[in-house]
Amino acid sequence: MTMTQTVSTVDVPEGTGTPHTPGRAVRYGRAVPFFVVPFGLLFILFYLVPIGYAIVQSLYTVERTGTFGPAREVFGGLVQYQRVFEDGPFWTSIGRVLLFGVVQVPVMLGLALLLALLLDSGLVKGRRFFRLAFFVPYAVPGVIAAIMWGFLYSPNLSPLKSITSAVDLLSADFVLWAMANVVTWVYVGYNMLIIYSSLLAIPAEVYEAARLDGAGPVRIAWSIKIPLVMPAIVLTTVFSIIGTLQLLAEPQVFRSFSSAVSSTYTPNLTVYSTSSIPNFNLAAAFSVVLALATFVLSFAVLKFTQRKGAVQ
Amino acid sequence: MSVAAPAGTKIRESLLSRTAATLVMAVCTVYFLTPIWWLFVGASKSSEQFTSTNPLWFADFDLFANIGDLFAYRDGVFLRWMLNSVLYTGGAALIGTVLAAMCGYALAKYRFRGREVIFNVVLSGVLVPATALALPLFLLFSKVDATNTFWSVFLPSLVNPFGVYLARIYATASVPDELLEAARIDGSGEVRTFFKVATRLMFPALVTIFLFHFVAVWNNFLLPLIMLGDERLFPVTLGLYSWNTQVNQIPELRGLVIIGALLSITPLVVAFLFLQRFWRNGLGAGAVK
């Protein structure tokens, strides 16, 4: 049961076409390392080793003999993890990004799906233009987008003066949603394009029967198109969840615009500020817990949608 | 995609839904493009006019003078940042795409021991957020005294497990085994076949992988933030971020941040315009056969 079956609409059949004879495996044997090793080596060095190293680091703690004695690292077992679990602000920040995700991800993906369906429906002229217009924000890196919107939210600069003078979008009550808007603005077009691409891949004949039966465009969208692009929606959901838990650039930038954003506002900000104390062991433990939470959550979404898919 | 509409009500209905659909599209276009329009207008103004004139319309057009100021500021450090960004993102995405394509191609086209294990490990890598790696990478690089160097950001940026995943799908979908067999019969070696035949067939897909990779590196903020201390090694995102944090102390930086933001996104917007064709076809190739 791999993710392939869930997120791709193509099946990757076992040993696609290559006849399975032992002789062949030997014949191409030397080519395989040539193709796999360069990536594999970098993957081990810059993915697997750091993950392992973070886990090791998180098991150590810094000890001092006396107040001014030299610091040395000693094995501390799960001491750092105990600190992580007792760290109130960290769990508040986890709750904050979860709240963010519960609201922002459905809004963003709902909008992306709606726009993709409209582009695909043939109801609108100028599809190329709209597709590009919606996609352009994706070219803006998170940091730059946050800087731009930060100015747009600032009461004295904004073209939205009628709004920004009535409510302070950078106050503690609103700033989380102000950031949600930045993320939505950047990523709707990207998600739309992924969904739209898989809509384009549906052969037209699929709709013919439904149309002959008198199904309208809404009904076709709901009963045929959406189920068929479900894998794309699952993929974008998983990526969005990962992105939400990792929220960093936007809050980090907003700290310049709003005093409501603390140095522990999101989990990754906590990692960053803990490592700049510096307390690397504790920061590593935060990192491990966060990565684990992300992994478990995205995996759960995959499994959950897989089961739902099986029922249909 | 015209629906047969014999009755008058049908026509009216379709006119109504057309109007509604177009309206939704128009509103969204305003939402997506206004900030960029604002940025362009803002970048064309002097700092007095920036606050005193209509934020969404031009005053005196000072864009080129502003760009000149930006390039001159602190011995042209902004140009240095742009160059760094091109090297970090373009270089890493280019090499990373080739490596991912090779690996994904092998996973799709050869049967070998451990293939599924490798694929699943790489796939799990997709779920590991890049930011979770930044801190341990920093600690590892500081072990070998290599933090605050070009390589400390460049090398980790080469790895993109999602690219391998996509390359495997695309290779399966777009490179027929018969063709590889034919190349073999013609006496072409495996490596040669890959570079001469397979990469051509996979080209639209490779553009997609490249763009995904490019944007991922372009957006990775934590790695350079943690790794780099020397301003001259910054990518443009980190550079503009550092200016933005100083706006309250040095107000003149505000204008530079705005012009810099505009210039930093321009190359990628232009690239999207040109690569749009591949981008769509490539994504489609991932989804169809």
d(CA A57, CA A53) in angstroms, rounded, equals: 6
Q: Which residue has the tokens 């052969």?
A: A203
Q: Would you say B243 and B256 are in contact if contact means Cβ atoms under 8 Å apart?
A: yes
Residues B82 and B14 in one domain: no
pLDDT digits (tens, 9 = 90+) for A73-121: 889 889 999 999 999 999 999 999 999 999 999 999 999 999 999 998 8
pLDDT (tens digit per residue) in B161-193: 999 999 998 899 889 999 998 998 888 889 999
Q: Which tokens in the block code for residue B51? A: 């606050």
Which residues, numbered 145 to 184 in chain A, qualify as contacts with chain B under a Cβ-Cβ cut-off of 8 Å?
145, 147-152, 156-159
Please indicate, yes or no, whether residues B155 and B52 belong to a single structural domain of this protein: no
Question: Does the beta-carbon distance from A43 to B279 stay under 8 Å?
Answer: no
Query: Within chain A, where are the H helices?
Result: 4-7, 22-27, 31-43, 49-58, 79-86, 88-121, 127-135, 142-153, 161-164, 175-200, 205-212, 217-220, 226-228, 230-245, 249-254, 267-275, 280-311
Does B179 share its domain with B220? yes
Ramachandran sector of residue B76 (left: φ over 0; alpha: ψ -120 to 50; beta: rest):
left
Cα dihedral: A133, A135, A141, A146 (round 10): 60
A282 pLDDT more than 60: yes
**Which residues, 6 or more positions from A257, have their beta carbon under 8 angstroms from its beta carbon?**
A150, A153, A154, A170
Pairing mode, if any, of strands A71-75 and A60-64? antiparallel
pLDDT of residue A2: 36
**Domain match, B125 and B21 both:** no
* Secondary structure (3-state) at A64: strand
In a domain, B38, yes or no: yes
Residues B219 and B85 in one domain: yes
Q: What are phi and psi of A309, to 5 degrees?
A: -60, -35
Dist. CA B131–CA B121, nearest whole Å: 18
For residue B228, is it within any domain?
yes
Residue B162 lies in a domain: yes
To the nearest 10°, report the CA torsion of B252, B257, B259, B265. 180
Residues B126 and B208 in one domain: yes
Give the integer Cα–Cα distance in Å for B229 and B231: 6
Q: How many independent structural domains does chain B possess?
A: 2
Give tens-digit pLDDT for A174-225. 999 999 999 999 999 999 988 998 888 888 888 888 888 888 888 888 888 9
- CATH H superfamily, domain A80-311: MetI-like (1.10.3720.10)
Residue numbers of chain B with a pLDDT score lower than 70: 1-10, 13, 277-289
B124, part of any domain: yes
**Are B153 and B127 contained in the same domain?**
yes
Residue range(s) defining the domain that contains residue B50: 8-61
Interface test with B, best of A151, A165, A252 (most B CBs within 10 A): A151
Give me the interface pTM, i.e. the ipTM. Answer: 0.86
B248: helix, coil or strand? coil
**Interface subset of A 193-232, CB within 8 angstroms of B:** 193-194, 197-198, 200-201, 211, 217, 232
Residue B2 lies in a domain: no
Residue B1 domain-assigned (yes or no): no
What is the DSSP code (8-state) at residue A136?
G
A-chain CB neighbours of B108 within 8 Å are: 12, 16
CATH code, domain with B180? 1.10.3720.10
Mean pLDDT throughout A243-255? Answer: 93
List the beta bridge partners of residue A64.
A71
**Are B159 and B36 found together in one domain?**
no
Query: Which residue from B224, B87, B38 is spatially nearest to A137, judged by alpha carbons?
Result: B38
What single-letter DSSP state applies at residue B232?
Answer: G
Q: Enumerate the domain spans of chain A.
A: 26-79, 80-311
On whether both B48 and B134 belong to a single domain, the answer is no
User: Do residues B258 and B217 share a domain?
Assistant: yes
B55 lies in the same domain as B98: no
User: Which residues, other chains included, contact A136 with Cβ-Cβ below 8 Å and sequence gap of 6+?
Assistant: A189, B32, B33, B36, B269, B272
Q: What is the pLDDT at residue B278?
A: 66
Please say whether the beta carbons of B112 and A32 come within 8 A.
Answer: yes
| End-of-domain residue from the set B61, B81, B96 | B61
**Does the CB of A12 have a partner CB in chain B at under 8 Å?**
yes
On whether both B153 and B274 belong to a single domain, the answer is yes
